[in-house]
Amino acid sequence: MRTTIRAALLCAGLVSMPALAAPAVLWEKVWSYDHAAGNAAGQKAEIPAYDPLNDTLWVAGVSGVDVLNARTGALIRHIDLSALGDVNSVAIRNGVAAVAIAAPDHTQPGVVQLFNSNTFAPAERIQVGALPDMVTFTPDGSRLLVANEGERAVMTDPSSTDPAGSVSVIDMSSRTVVATAGFAGVAGSDSVRLFPGKPAAVDLEPEYIAVSPDGSKAYVSLQEANAVGILDLATNTFTEVKSLGTKDYSLPGQGIDPSDKDGSIAVRNVPVKGMYMPDTIATYVAGGQTYLVTANEGDTRDEDVRIKDKSVKLDPSIFPDAAELKKDENLGRLTISPFDGLNANGEHEALYSYGSRSFSIRDANGDLVFDSGDDFERLLGERFPDIFDDGRSDNKGPEPEGLALMDVGGRMLAFIGFERTLEKLATAVIAIYDITDPLQSSFLDFIVSPGDLAPEGLVAFSRDGGYFLAVSSEGSDTTSLFRINLVPEPGGVALVLTALGLLGVIRRKR
């Protein structure tokens, strides 16, 4: 009797049951478009945006924007914007396409050019901050946010012109900038990773923006600072800059391949810490809570050094085996920060490398709740060793950069693109994870796409009951479309069918 009652309650969802097994994901490449083969000189493939009103993909790529038929991949229109500067990003909402364009002198204010996404007619041109690198709408489309990176003129020269990083807030009803949010005096801004001698207001460089699903906050990745800024969209001001901390590669399940000279793919634990330094970030809601997803690429301003360099002195009390560590086949080739982790004597008491070779999930406060650990390098090395680029092991490994989230049949999937795979094989790799339950996120599969290389931007969308992922790859200058499907694992299906069968028995006994 208890068994039948429990089965009935289970079917009704009134008692807990073990979570269904992770689904299997199926993917299929639908089409691919070669932007370099078009007639537009200098056109690249970097950031795609989907327009559901016209079923088109707008692809930003340095010299302009290519508008593609999202069903066939055919070129509909090339919009040449080269006279204005470098095209960095595009976003579309409610029939308006917004294109972020850096000035020819990147230290000067850039612009956002608006277009009618149906007719392609240009509309307002709005001046923003220096080097607008990314643009996104709030969920209701009422505001447009622009990440003004504000990079210095000469990367290797800290004394060169260095404009302040900021976020421009554009009101879409008036189509004017109503606020420019900077970092002067923001809580936490002076306690994150800053370059020596640089104030936070100048040194922090917005890379990417993710708006919370309720439109109340924006999270801004500050890549080189290994931090995230939290922007209050009620006041259009930053309330906090939060350090993302580091990842300890000496812990189980957190290893890396640190050398391009060890003759193999060898993921292992090492006495190094990785600075997460995310590029693309995104938000979603699970269990009523907002979570932040980050692709932890890592980045430098060309300040990096190798552990074997004579300038790198290791604290002998912490690294008694320094001579062994400095060998090429060990840690000697690994690039690290020259100024993080120094003691009073100028010796490294900790070694900090760039990026974490993973993706992470954090809560709304920026605290870590999940990290993919060594999955990317380990699984790629096991499954596709021929396209694993061991020549990048001494730098930032696979460099997870692009990211997109999509709800597929009630499961939240994360797609993470690897910027680095073996170049001569020209094959892109995108990892797929089920992140429906942030704490129990799990790897599902790799999309492996010959003919594409170095995914830069990803956008996911649904259409006519189907699910799709568009990927623009800067290494191959291609945009490809993939159809995504989920198939429940047999164990999960069997559990549901068993419960339904028991419920049927109950009904028959009545």
Q: Given phi > 0 = left and psi -120 to 50 = alpha, else beta, which region is 245?
A: left
pLDDT recorded at residue 51: 99
For 22-46, letters b (16+ CB in 10 Å) and e give bbebebebbbbbebeeeebeebbbb
Tokens of 173: 């009803």
pLDDT recorded at residue 261: 97
Q: Does residue 366 lie in a domain region?
A: no
Are 220 and 208 spatial neighbours (Cβ–Cβ below 8 Å)?
yes
Instruction: Please give the residue range of the domain that contains residue 182.
Output: 84-243
Per-residue pLDDT of the chain (510 residues; tens, 9 = 90+): 333 333 333 333 333 333 456 789 999 999 999 999 987 888 999 999 999 999 999 999 999 999 999 999 999 999 999 999 999 999 999 999 999 999 999 999 999 999 999 999 999 999 999 999 999 999 999 999 999 999 999 988 888 999 999 999 999 999 999 999 999 999 999 999 999 989 999 999 999 999 999 999 999 999 999 999 999 999 999 999 999 999 999 999 999 999 999 999 999 999 999 999 999 999 999 999 999 999 999 999 999 999 999 999 999 999 999 999 999 999 999 999 999 999 999 999 999 999 999 999 999 999 999 999 999 999 999 999 999 999 999 999 999 999 999 999 999 999 999 999 999 999 999 999 999 999 999 999 999 999 999 999 999 999 999 999 999 999 999 999 999 999 986 654 444 444 444 334 333 333
Number of domains in the chain: 1
Give the domain CATH number at 233: 2.130.10.10
Q: Does residue 211 lie in a domain region?
A: yes
Q: Does residue 34 lie in a domain region?
A: no
Q: Does residue 108 lie in a domain region?
A: yes
Q: Does residue 493 lie in a domain region?
A: no
93, 159, 315 from 203: Cα distances, Å: 31, 12, 29
Q: Does residue 495 lie in a domain region?
A: no
Q: Does residue 88 lie in a domain region?
A: yes
Q: Does residue 201 lie in a domain region?
A: yes
Say which DSSP state 331 is in. I
- Nearest-angstrom CA–CA distance, 439 and 375: 16
What predicted TM-score, i.e. pTM, was given to this entire model? Answer: 0.92
The DSSP-derived string for 144-176 is EEEEE----SSTT-TTS--PPPEEEEEETTTTE
Give strand pairing partners of 442: 434
